[in-house]
Amino acid sequence: MKTISTAKSHGGTQGVYAHASETCGCDMTFAVFVPPQAKDGPCPVLWYLSGLTCTHANVMDKGEYRRMAAELGLIVVCPDTSPRGESVPDEKDDWQFGSGAGFYVDATEAPFATNYRMYSYIVDELPKLIAAHFPADMTRQSIFGHSMGGHGALTIALKNPDRFASCSAFAPIVHPSTADWSSKAFERYLGPDEADWRSYDACLLIEDGHRFDAFLVDQGKADGFLQDGLRPWLLEEACRKAGIPLTLRMQDGYDHSYFFISTFMDDHLRWHAARLGTGGGDVE
């Protein structure tokens, strides 16, 4: 692992790191905030998964999470959204596919299957690296994300309910198999058989019997992607049928941007901290 940069923030340390990923077959970059409480012992880990076109830097620069994470004693890990590099297949003119659009799946179709293995990277490889190099209590983990990353957080939590104490999302793609801006990527990463897409679709995972204790979702009513891409009411219906508690907050006037995310970031951090045992509390 190589340290790219570190900076003191709110008594803790914000770092950016890189390593050669065996899972993705390329160098991967990620950010980690370590709170001041880590001086006294391991801290719980909160994973943040970013959305389409993003890297680790978007939430690190604009998410405004460090003050509250330092107060609550949370390590915040911000991975990249896809493999990158000259040897990695990409479509530079399509922001919904390729670099920046890994969709947190393990691709099965050539030529993407070699590198686009973001599910295994987030679930298996990167946690081992975090455990080895940071003062992390890996028995206490939670996960959240935005848009494509919200989709990733929901699906990863549903498939690994014993690992994560909590899961939340900002404007997630809840039913990517049928959403305009994700179904094309699913077909190209996973093949034409839509049965193979079900394990990466939150609504279909719930339909197929996967469960999680509870979800928190914030969604802006002024989000331009609300009707065609996000459709949180589909998750609401799936959770209702399955008996999964869902706190869905439709926020007047807010769009899809980090102005929206940063506004409600503290609420999400407190919500996770309450379930990780470091304070916090429920949202209104």
Instruction: Name the active-site residue from 146, 175, 256, 272.
Output: 256
Burial of residue 3, with CB atoms counted within 10 A of its CB: 0-12 exposed, 13-18 middle, 19 or more buried: exposed
CA dihedral 219, 45, 271, 64 (to 10 degrees): -60
Q: How far apart are CA 158 and CA 173, in angstroms?
A: 14
First to last CA, the chain: 41
Q: How far apart are CA 238 and CA 111, in angstroms?
A: 34
Q: 256 an active-site residue? A: yes
Q: How far apart are CA 129 and CA 214, in angstroms?
A: 28
Q: 223 an active-site residue? A: yes
Q: 183 an active-site residue? A: no
Pairing of strands 215-220, 164-170: parallel
Instruction: Name the active-site residue from 21, 99, 142, 147.
Output: 147
User: At CB < 8 A and 24+ separation, what contacts does 128-134 make?
Assistant: 129/1, 129/19, 130/32, 130/45, 130/75, 130/77, 133/1, 133/17, 134/32, 134/34, 134/38, 134/75
Active-site positions?
A: 147, 223, 256
